[in-house]
Amino acid sequence: MRTPRTRRGRRPAGLTAGLLAAALALTACAQGGSADTGGGATSDAADPDEPVTIRWSWWGSDTRHTLTQEVIDLFEQKNPTITVVPDYTDWGSYFDKLSVSVAGGDAPDVITQEERYLADYAAKGVLADLSALDVDTSKIDDTILQSGTIDDAVYGIATGVNVYSVVADPQAFADAGVEMPDDTTWTWEDYVEIANEITEKSGGAVYGAQDYGFNEPGFSILARQHDQSLYDEDGALGFEPELLAQWWQHSLDMQAAGGQPEAAKTVEVDAGGPEQSLVGTNTGAMAWFWSNQLTALANASGRPLQLLRVPGESQFDRTGMYFKPAMYYSVSSRSEHPEAAAKLVDFLLNDPEAGAILLSDRGLPANTEVRAAVTEKFADTDKQAAEFLSSLEDEIVDGPVVPPVGAGQVTEIVKRLNAEVLFGRMTPQQAAEQFVQEVEAAIS
């Protein structure tokens, strides 16, 4: 195992993280440093009937912007003394824009956050501790709350949840004459054997599986099954390199036996997203995706698809799957109106009318009662995903820690090294050791 290190002082990744680091440094200077921030917001004026204006930032598509304006209108109707100013952009420029706002001492009051950057902002005192504000979290699963908690302070609350899972095409199984697996008992070895069998029995017309190695959440689940973790509580790597090598070896075994495509096709398919995936194009029986991608996959395939637990959940001493926040609601620690900001966050999380507007736009509602109340309004695929998440509630024991500062680089690292393994330019063990070296440098 790696020697634990504190989260403070890690290098952010790429242009966005570089801007973020500069912004946070400027903010610390402008506000007298981070030592006196305490993660707590300033107090509202004493008069709760005094009109106030707050700003809410988010990223997304035009559809999300329209839905969000609808929910803002509803909130203002119910809270006539609070005006909410929308502050939105696309994903590609969101964090650059946010970092500039923070640097200028003009952070939004309610900030939409993403898990890879939550620790960056929290470490510099930019975010308030939501547990000290009036936000009801009693209907949100503890593992979901844990995902936005650092050193016992809640810096983000999940807007909604999804889960990394195996998406299967029952028709592809039936056409190949292979039974669908029992996902409550299947092992990693079963997964490899089933994938190979489907390709063989279909005469190569359909691949048994799409490669999973480009996305580290799959390995995170395997590590958790072995009572290890991608990152530990101190923000260091928490797994043995041999386990990562085993994860890549399973993929190589499928490639060698035909259970998944050759390397060149695998890279091409991965770049195409859900619509060009093997399952999405009726050329594969299984693929790993987040549950909120089921609608896009089903629309692309034109077939009913099924969500399955990942292999190995009953194979080891504990389960590894976890509920992942789609994104987070955070409140600025320097908001002039933290009570109003908290009231908006509470409304977004807990008001069934708000849930009926947003539905699954920001993930399936984190509040389980709101989720149940609006389920009938979901599309069929979202209903299936909601039922799947409900079936996991007694099996998921906890969630991963918040990724450390610098974790934004891991996506590129794992994609590159996975390709090296698939093309035979590195062995799984070599790639695992290289992964450890590069990620340790990124988060140190």
For residue 43, what pLDDT is reported? 46
- pTM metric for this prediction: 0.80
For residue 3, what pLDDT is reported? 31
Helices (H) and strands (E) in the chain, counts: 17, 14
61/89 Cα distance (integer angstroms): 8
**pLDDT per residue as tens digits for the range 248-304:** 999 999 999 999 999 999 999 998 888 899 999 999 999 999 998 999 899 999 999
In the structure encoding, which two tokens stand for residue 7, read together? 């989260």
DSSP annotation of 334 reads: T
* Stronger pLDDT, 17 or 329, i.e. the higher one: 329
66/104 Cα distance (integer angstroms): 28
The mean pLDDT of 407-416, rounded to a whole number, is: 90
DSSP annotation of 366 reads: S
pLDDT band at 117; cut points 50, 70, 90:
confident
Residue 77 Cα to chain centre, angstroms? 32
Burial of 209 (0-12, 13-18, 19+ CB in 10 A): buried
Is 198 in contact with 172 (CB distance < 8 Å)?
Answer: yes
* Stronger pLDDT, 351 or 28, i.e. the higher one: 351
- What's the Cα-to-Cα distance from 218 to each of 59, 65, 173, 292, 413, rounded to whole Å? 26, 31, 22, 16, 15
Lowest mean pLDDT among 5-9, 147-151, 211-215, 322-326: 5-9
In the structure encoding, which two tokens stand for residue 185, read together? 């008992």
In the structure encoding, which two tokens stand for residue 278, read together? 């093997």
Q: Is the pLDDT of residue 10 over 90?
A: no
Q: What is the mean pLDDT of the chain?
A: 89
If you compute the radius of gyration of the chain from its CA atoms, what whole number of angstroms results?
22
- Largest Cα separation within the chain, whole Å, is 74
**pLDDT per residue as tens digits for the range 176-207:** 999 999 999 999 999 999 999 999 999 999 99
**pLDDT per residue as tens digits for the range 43-61:** 444 467 799 999 999 998 8
What residue type is assigned to position 188 of the chain?
W
10/218 Cα distance (integer angstroms): 25
For residue 35, what pLDDT is reported? 29
For residue 9, what pLDDT is reported? 29
pLDDT band at 309; cut points 50, 70, 90:
very high
**pLDDT per residue as tens digits for the range 135-172:** 999 999 888 898 899 989 999 999 999 999 999 999 99
pLDDT band at 411; cut points 50, 70, 90:
confident
Phi/psi at 111 (5° precision): -115, 125
